[in-house]
Amino acid sequence: MKIDCLVTGAYQENCYILSNEQQEAVVVDPGENANEIIDFITHHGLSITAYLCTHAHADHISALHEVHTQFPAHIAMHTLDWNWAFDEINQSPPYYATPMQPDTETYLALETQPQWSIGSFEFEVIHTPGHTPGSCTLYFSADHIALVGDTLFKGSCGRTDLPGGNAVHLKESLKKLRNLPPETTALTGHGESTTIGHEINTNFYMR
């Protein structure tokens, strides 16, 4: 699997595009810069099979409506975040307005099953609340990668002082991530990627 990262928006959010040799792809957390994401998909001739959302904060989904309109596909998000993703509470002035809601007929609730197969992409959903109620880690075991959203960062962890944040839940979620194989690459929502093993050994919040 090929992994590309586009850094988007005022908060430097990481949008990941995972693709295979057949040019099928999933887009993870299309935060902003919709035109850049659309141009990348078009330039590489990718066929989008799904949009996967680790959580619903505006800096992670503000490009979703526009990109989804151009390339319709399923949208997967935990219901606990979908329920407020497109409400006025989900904005961060002056950088992010409330995200526009895409076609709801394509919505998939991540919590409805632990294992997913979308096209050729197979992954496990690990509910990792704390940063938001519906935050999820998407674990692709065959490729040894985990898309952790804003739950875990290199040397740090996600905020819990935003609406819906919960420090106790985040601590429990980080314990879940400790159970992943140490060689697993953690693709974070902001900043550098890391490995689970490195964070267990060096990150205060993972101890």
Give the pLDDT confidence of 112-144 residue by residue, as tens digits. 999 999 999 999 999 999 999 999 999 999 999
How far is it, in rounded angstroms, from Cα 27 to Cα 156? 25
How far is it, in rounded angstroms, from Cα 159 to Cα 150? 8
User: Mean pLDDT over residues 152-156, rounded?
Assistant: 99
Q: Please write the tens of the pLDDT for every residue from 5-30.
A: 999 999 999 999 999 999 999 999 99
Q: How far is CA 27 from the centre of its chain?
A: 9
Task: Give 85's contacts (C-beta < 8 A, 6+ positions apart).
Answer: 53, 56, 61, 77, 99, 101
**Prediction pTM value:** 0.97
Helices (H), 4-123: 34-43, 58-61, 64-70, 79-82
Centre a 10 Å sphere on the Cβ of residue 57 and count the other Cβ atoms it contains: 31
Helix then strand count (H, E) for the chain reads: 6, 14
- Domains of the chain (ranges; CATH) run 2-206 (3.60.15.10)
How far is it, in rounded angstroms, from Cα 2 to Cα 12? 21
DSSP one-letter string for 152-164: EETTEE----STT
Query: Is residue 104 scored above 90 in pLDDT?
Result: no
Which percentage of the chain shows pLDDT scores above 70?
100
